[in-house]
Amino acid sequence: MQLPPHLETLDDSLRNEMPRGWSAENQGLYRSSEVRILVLDDDTSVCRVIQAALAPHDFKVIVQAEPSEMRRTLESQPYHLIILDYVIPGLDPEQTLAWLREYQPQASIIVVTAYPSIDSALSCLRARTYDYLTKPFAITQLQQTVLRCLEGRGLLRMSESALRKSLGNAIRERRKALNLTLAQMAQRTGVSLGYLSQIELGKNSASIETLYSISLGLGIKIADLFQTIQNGN
């Protein structure tokens, strides 16, 4: 089946990137519980592409392409995330957003649209939607947005090994920015050279006491290290 022109970017990205096994697990994240995602778009092609894009993450993705059934679908069960096409034939966008507030008050909303405008963007801002994506968009953009949203809600969590690697990388980058060698860092912190190396490589966990010493040596707070990790994701 040939996709309409505005989906060509999505389709190309899907063909090129999906075989690489791009998944939440490959990003060092794991689900803390079942994640339910609803896609509301009258274009069945868009629904299939989004569903396929999120399939590797092992999320439960429900799609609804029939406008007359969308309200009933919203009433059926709670969802953690809803991906909504802003312009759906037969439905007023403000009414649809009102349904979301009424039936899915806890759900995060990502709006996608092929007809971006200042008015629609402001409307979505007032509705406190998580993000506003314009078509065509790359599959990786959607995937990253979804993962970032779910991680922010605590539905996806960083694995211990991924946390060690991210923390080690943050320490190494900060040290290099200060033009410090590992030997100089060891002298500053009182942490052995070998232990520091293992921490930076993500092969060893650091105690809170050690992280405190490292943070002092880098001239930052421990919280700043973890904030760097969060911003990097």
Q: What is the pLDDT of residue 10?
A: 41
- pLDDT, averaged in runs of 10, over the chain (233 residues): 39 43 55 87 93 84 95 96 96 94 96 92 92 90 91 81 87 94 95 94 91 94 83 59
Q: Which is nearest to 168 in space by CA: 208, 209, 212, 200?
A: 200
Name the 3-class secondary structure at 220. coil
Q: Long-range contacts for 155-161 (Cβ within 8 Å, ≥24 apart)?
A: 155/31, 155/32, 155/33, 155/35, 155/80, 156/24, 156/29, 156/30, 156/31, 156/32, 156/35, 157/29, 157/30, 157/32, 158/28, 158/29, 158/229, 158/233, 159/28, 159/29, 159/30, 160/205, 161/28, 161/202
Can you give the pTM of this predicted structure? Answer: 0.65
Distances 120 to 53, 87, 93, 103, 181 between C-alpha atoms, Å: 25, 9, 9, 21, 52
CA distance 80 to 69: 19
Task: List the domains of the chain with CATH numbers.
Answer: 5-158 (3.40.50.2300), 160-232 (1.10.260.40)
Torsion angle (degrees, nearest 10) of CA 169, 172, 173, 179 = -170
Buried b (16+ CB within 10 A) or exposed e, 4-39: eebbebbbebbeebeeeebebbebbbeeeeebbbbb
Strand order in 81-85's β-sheet?
Answer: 60-64, 36-40, 81-85, 108-113, 131-134
Alpha helices in the chain (DSSP H): 8-17, 44-54, 67-76, 93-103, 118-126, 139-152, 160-177, 182-189, 193-200, 208-218, 222-232
Q: Which is nearest to 158 in space by CA: 35, 33, 25, 23?
A: 25
Q: What is the pLDDT of residue 231?
A: 66
Q: What is the pLDDT of residue 179?
A: 96
Name the 3-class secondary structure at 85. strand
